[in-house]
Amino acid sequence: MRSIGTTDLSVFPISLGTNVFGWTADKETSFAVLDEYVENGGNFIDTADVYPYWATGDSASETIIGEWLAHRHDRDSLVIATKVGMLEGLQGLAPATIRTAVEDSLRRLRTDYIDLYWAHVDDHDTPMVESLAAFDALVREGKIRYAGASNHSAARLAEALKISDDEGLVRYVALQQQYNLVERDYESETRDVVAREGLGSTPYFGLARGFLTGKYAPGVTVESPRAGKAGEYLATEHGRRTLEVLTQVAADRVVHPASVALAWLAAQPTVTAPIASARSVEQLRALITAAELTLSAEELALLDDASRP
């Protein structure tokens, strides 16, 4: 288990992303994935009120997780994270929006509290101090335990942390951002802020929309809603080079390429737990393997060198 920043949130090294629940994974399959994840030691479940609204027009992921939680009796052993700021009709981080959204999420999740509540996107139209004060009130009321920032620039994250310190408000304890072997922009000022301020990082798109699973190769047709974006990586020399080394390391270890990609990410500075989704129990096994996989210094270096643009 790993701690998120300086908090008392102790989490599994791989967070289960659930944006596929209610979209490419129906309720029965989602329940099976959740059960398998927990039975293998997993406890960190990441969702959002907007999952998968873009495809279904509702917040099916939270609803499914809530129904699953209703059948379990160990809510306190789980770390549930959800987000506010992107759902249609509840965009942004105005205090009223945060208040309405958290109550809706609590109801759908069938829980009295949210362990980690993310500001899903930065909001330049609302004074940051007002958003932070809203999160602070929710912590004091016991509706959320901690707040985190998602999709915030280094400058804006640093500004938010300074405001919290100056005003005596809760601080963001973690950052959620895109980061994987082929998307490494995080390794800049953003990571410096996270490290300096003692935050944790839970990157999303850890498998680059499926590209790093190894199922994409020249001439191979993949049936997936994400195939178009993932295929763009294959069109670059950088993407093909990364995939070649990733596949070789995975073959040497006799594990799935996805396991190696996530293990590399989990080994990076400031990273607490990469987020990865699974729309079947079979896909989940690669995530579980990643949590148990420790890459050697040589393997990490090979992947690092190959994946640099």
- What residues does each domain of the chain span? 2-207+266-293
The amino acid that residue 18 corresponds to is T
Separation of alpha carbons 60 and 45, rounded Å: 15
**From the CB of residue 112, how many other CB atoms can be counted at a distance below 10 Å?**
9
The percent of residues in the chain predicted with pLDDT above 70, rounded, is: 96
Residues designated as active site: 51
pLDDT tens-digit readout, 31-67: 999 999 999 999 999 999 999 999 999 999 999 999 9
Q: Take residue 267 and report the two structure tokens written for it.
A: 């080994």
Whether residue 222 has pLDDT greater than 70: no
Summarised one tens digit per residue, pLDDT across range 206-215 is: 999 999 998 8
Q: Indicate the DSSP class of residue 45.
A: E
Q: Indicate the burial class of 8 (C-beta count within 10 angstroms; 0-12, 13-18, 19 or more).
A: exposed
**Tokens encoding 154:** 């280094």
Four-CA torsion 102, 104, 107, 113, nearest 10 degrees: 0
Q: Residue 238 to residues 17, 222, 227, 232: CA-CA distances in angstroms?
A: 26, 20, 18, 11
One of 3.40.50.1820, 3.40.980.10, 3.10.100.10, 3.20.20.100 is the CATH number of 2-207+266-293, namely: 3.20.20.100
Structure tokens given for 79: 């770390």
Ramachandran quadrant class, 112 (left: phi over 0; alpha: psi -120 to 50; beta: rest): alpha
Asked if the model's pLDDT at residue 126 lies above 80, the reply is yes
pLDDT of residue 216: 78
Question: What pLDDT is attached to residue 243?
Answer: 96
Match 């873009």 to its residue by tokens. Answer: 54
Q: Answer yes or no: are the C-beta atoms of 42 and 288 closer than 8 Å.
A: yes
8 Å CB contact between 64 and 98: no
- pLDDT, tens digit, 9 for 90 and up, residues 153-182: 999 999 999 999 999 999 999 999 999 999
